[in-house]
Amino acid sequence: MVNEFDLNHNTDRIKLKKSEVNPCIYLKKPSVYMTRYIPKAVEILSASCDLTVHKGRAFPSKKDIIKNVSNKDGLLCSLSDVIDNEVIVATKKLRVISSYSVGYDHIDIDTATRYGICVTYTPEVLTETTADLAFTLLLTTARRITEADVLVRSGQWRSGWKYDFMLGSDINGKTLGIIGLGRIGSAVAKRSNGFKMRVLYHDRNRLPIEKEDELAVEYRSLEDLLKESDFVSIHLPLNNDTFHLFNEQKLKLMKPTSYLINTARGSIIDEKALIRALKQKWIAGAGLDVFETEPISRNNLLLKMNNIVLAPHVGSSTTETREKMAEVAAMNLLNVLNGKKPLYEVKS
């Protein structure tokens, strides 16, 4: 079968704009490297691509990725693979980087764009699932559920019901501040309405009044949102503007009774400042699904704290959602290789 792909080993690609790369006819299946074995994506891609799939439990090193992707037409990667300038310049004919994630801070978008490589991602299908996790962290942090679970399991629940035992904080009627009211932030806002919470938001762009009314949210400057909120939930992409946005100064604006929830990216928070905030009680607690270094180091002081709930970056981790992400990631990749528009392209 003749596939419509670019067979050319196009070393001049760097001088071309994406629209100027001529699609040619593929005489054999396009070659694709997958950095993970993702069954649904393998099922979809194996019919029309020559697949090389990284084997083994350990993630591929950067050296492995460079070696395997250098002569491939497509790359399907995950958010823990760093696809930086060094990787991209080592490719000879790569047309598409399809990330199995909504975040794409692990990919050097500028270099990919300069090389005429399309970068795709998997938003929407994971919105509700990630919002569920943000809300789960909010609930479990405020009601101290992980502490309570450990206490019961370890046999330390020794007396009966006591009026001042394991007191947490109310959620209903409290003020939630959402930073970044995109897809996931909006889905969190909708959940909070059911808990009769007042919802404030901050975003680069203020929404039209009708949209604010529909979501029942009020706009605030970042500083005012931090001062007024009982819960602050972060839903921002990681980039130069948001790196360590939550530093000592911002954390000190929050109420001592407030909680910080992060399901976005760890480096949006200066983790050292957060550790001081939790130790010195500038805030009451935190619920974190993401960290500056993943997996978290065993020496990280966050592991020693009680007023915090920790999850291992599982925002989108349900069977249903991961299956949908695999389908979207595979279709994004196939579409580009077939000269069509991907379902979701990262705009540089």
Q: Could you give the residue numbers annotated as active site?
A: 265, 294, 313
Q: Single out the residue of 36, 72, 74, 66 nearest to residue 53, CA to CA.
A: 36
How far is 191 from 156, CA to CA, in rounded Å? Answer: 34
Enumerate residues 58-87 that contact ligand DGY by CB under 6 A.
Answer: 79
- Of 98, 111, 316, 335, the one binding ligand DGY (CB under 6 A) is 316
- Identify the DSSP state of 291: -
C-beta separation of 277 from 285 below 8 A:
no
- Map tokens 């909010």 to a residue: 138
Enumerate residues 133-192 that contact ligand DGY by CB under 6 A.
Answer: none
38 lines the binding site for ligand DGY (CB under 6 A): no
Count residues contacting ligand DGY (CB under 6 A)? 8
237 lines the binding site for ligand DGY (CB under 6 A): no
Q: How far is the CB of 40 from ligand DGY (least distance, A)?
A: 16
332 lines the binding site for ligand DGY (CB under 6 A): no
109 lines the binding site for ligand DGY (CB under 6 A): no
125 lines the binding site for ligand DGY (CB under 6 A): no
Q: Single out the residue of 184, 166, 225 nearest to residue 201, CA to CA.
A: 225
Is the CB of 103 or the CB of 168 nearer to ligand DGY? Answer: 103
197 lines the binding site for ligand DGY (CB under 6 A): no
Binding region for ligand DGY (CB under 6 A) out of 23-31, 99-107, 227-235, 326-334: 99-107
What are phi and psi for residue 117, nearest 5 degrees?
Answer: -95, 130
Looking at the DSSP assignment, which residues form a beta bridge with residue 308? Answer: 286
- What residue type is 323 in one-letter code? E
Taking the chain, what is the end-to-end CA distance rounded to the nearest angstrom?
Answer: 34
Give the 3-state secondary structure of residue 308: strand
Binding region for ligand DGY (CB under 6 A) out of 11-19, 54-62, 97-105, 204-212: 97-105
Question: Which residues of this chain interact with ligand DGY, rule CB under 6 A?
Answer: 79, 101-103, 126, 130, 315-316
